[in-house]
A and B are shown apart, each in its own frame.
Chain A
């Protein structure tokens, strides 16, 4: 994806707030010259999972900010906590076994963690909506797709069934489904994977959300259909001025879609900056390892990251990546590094969690 306003992006990133690390208190810096307020501020979010095999911090002190009409990508491999972060924002995780144990999720000035369940229900599908990875299991198989879209409108806008169905037809047309008047009468199983994902998107944008969470929206789809869906998402994002939190493991999609990127590993953000910096100057050895693992033209042999992704219940002490990192030294095994800005004077902040970049090492 081309970036239409590189200048405003740089300006915006200069105001990107330093995430709060650990228990250390940071003062929130607000800039009055900045006209674009944060739409979403996730601050120090912690989510725990209590399972028979033990308890684990699946989201550990995660902080990021997102502004209107911007795309932030959360990238990482399976089990790194990216979906858990998204579900925590919408408070979709069943408790028990999951529990949000700390932090704030400020959306339009309100902390979502303080809202009643009733208020939260109005936000889900209203101001914040989500597209799930697997469109077949997230649509109800026994209802026609038109009625499923209409239900969202009836619940959130109080539209009559008839009016809601008419809007549903319009929405299906918006997401590029041919002859939507007929297709609203289809059941999910009568549609292809790409069409179902379009229905999910139509449902997600039905109430003009300010924030769209897309959880691996194209992972289940073929590559030509993936290109269609990503183009559709970007078009809708511009039209509706939505912010998008894009969760993906595909660095190609990140490079083409996102403005900012947060790389996650073992429930933590380990690198957080704008997309160009991340791909041109990746700093954390894990990010570099991920990029080196990708097959590209002209590369004779891939350079994989050694070892395997640790289970969240058996994380090493110190830096969570130290057991797989080629640059690890004794400090890495002892103590976990903070997420710090390694380009404090630069145009865009570049947050990295790695001892290699921390000038003053403790003890």
Chain B
């Protein structure tokens, strides 16, 4: 693993049991995360893209130690986060923060903005009740909220402002890694751009590292240093931003990129239209997970052997037999 890496994910697996019906006893298993490896380098923004149900948010929850994996480990600065206890765990919680997708359900409606942002400061003994408001107001100014909003409740804000509250709360403990789980998906275009600029400014200002999870490929392209593409619980491609968008190895990445509508009526691009929906992650199948939708699948190997995740070009990994 890279020596400068902040977070190393090693062979991580997580499944959830599902019952098929109320009265049938047999149950299957969702392989939400099915053996993934990646690391996040200090100071970078790693974009994690994929369609709904591919396991992106499970990765986020595991990286925050909110869920325990079935197997595998996540190292934060070399320590396995699932072995941390007491003080060490509390320290980890301080250094890794999350920004949630939904700015409505992620803020307690009964609390004022000041105490939403300030509570972590008190819990971690960073501020006292006396100097907490001053620190909170500084944070609010940092994310572009007016100090006079200190005593307001979340329902008095627009979705863009609420997301700023969420960002201020994530920043208050001066974390090193921020997991941003679809931070701008719920926002309108003009507000989305403001929020992205804010996140990028803060990253530069404080030298933050982001795991930036999104289904929007244009946004991930804009913010990320490197991009990982997930499909059915696996990372199928991971590479430097520019190279992955210009020359992708995995046919799923290709289809995903070509499906993004371009806001330019003059540009005509060839589109790979995939057949069918992403298959259900329940149950396990042999071979490449993408084989049954893949336009270049080879019956001789793709359906029986799982392709290894190998380095196809410098720093650019993909799992495909054909490329």
Contact = CB atoms under 8 A, between A and B. Distances in A.
Tell me, yes or no, whether A binds B: yes
Interface of A: 2, 77-78, 178, 192-195, 222-228, 230-231, 249-256, 275-276, 279-280, 289-297, 299, 301-306, 308-309
Contacts of A256: 261-262, 265
A295 B217 CA distance: 10
B259 A224 contact: yes
A280 B52 CA distance: 34
Interface in B136-157: none
B260 A295 contact: no
Please give me the 4 A-B residue pairs with the lowest Cβ-Cβ distance, nearest first. Answer: A252-B261, A295-B222, A304-B193, A293-B193
Nearest to B276: A178
A173 to B, nearest CB: 15
A316 to B, nearest CB: 16
Contacts of B200: 301
A87 B273 CA distance: 32
Interface residues of B, number: 42
Contact of B190 (A231, A250, A293, A301): A293
30 contacts: A78-B188, A193-B277, A194-B277, A222-B278, A223-B51, A223-B217, A223-B260, A224-B255, A224-B273, A227-B271, A230-B261, A231-B271, A250-B261, A252-B260, A255-B263, A255-B264, A290-B189, A291-B263, A294-B189, A294-B263, A295-B196, A295-B219, A295-B223, A296-B222, A299-B222, A302-B197, A304-B190, A304-B193, A308-B158, A308-B161
B156 to A, nearest CB: 12
B25 interface: no
Interface string B51-65: 110000000000000
A302 to B, nearest CB: 4
Given A223-B51, A249-B189, A302-B196, 11 more contacts: A2-B268, A192-B277, A224-B273, A250-B261, A256-B265, A293-B193, A294-B189, A295-B218, A297-B221, A303-B193, A305-B190
Nearest to A280: B266
Nearest to A261: B265
A304 B197 contact: yes
Most chain A beta carbons < 10 A, residue from B196, B215, B218, B276:
B276
Interface of B: 51-52, 158, 160-161, 188-194, 196-197, 200, 215, 217-219, 221-223, 245, 255-256, 258-268, 271, 273-274, 276-278
Contact of A255 (B258, B259, B265): B265
B32 to A, nearest CB: 17
B261 A276 contact: no
A296 B196 CA distance: 13
Contact of B263 (A251, A289, A303, A306): A251
Nearest to A299: B222
A304 B189 CA distance: 8
Nearest to B194: A304
A195 B280 CA distance: 14
Contacts of A227: 258-259, 261, 271, 273-274
Contacts of B263: 251-252, 254-255, 279, 291, 294, 296
A319 B115 CA distance: 38
Given A194-B277, A228-B274, A297-B245, A279 B197 contact: no
Nearest to A302: B193
A304 B161 CA distance: 15
A280 B267 CA distance: 12
Contacts of B266: 276, 279-280
Given A223-B260, A251-B263, A309 B190 contact: yes
Given A279-B263, A295-B219, A303-B193, A222 B51 contact: yes
B51 to A, nearest CB: 4
Given A228-B274, A250-B261, A255-B262, A223 B256 contact: yes
Nearest to A251: B263
Contacts of A253: 261
B67 to A, nearest CB: 23
A308 B222 contact: no
Contact of A296 (B161, B192, B215, B218): B218
B258 to A, nearest CB: 8
A301 B197 contact: yes
B256 A224 contact: yes
Contacts of A230: 261
Contacts of B189: 77, 249, 251, 290, 293-294
A194 B259 CA distance: 15
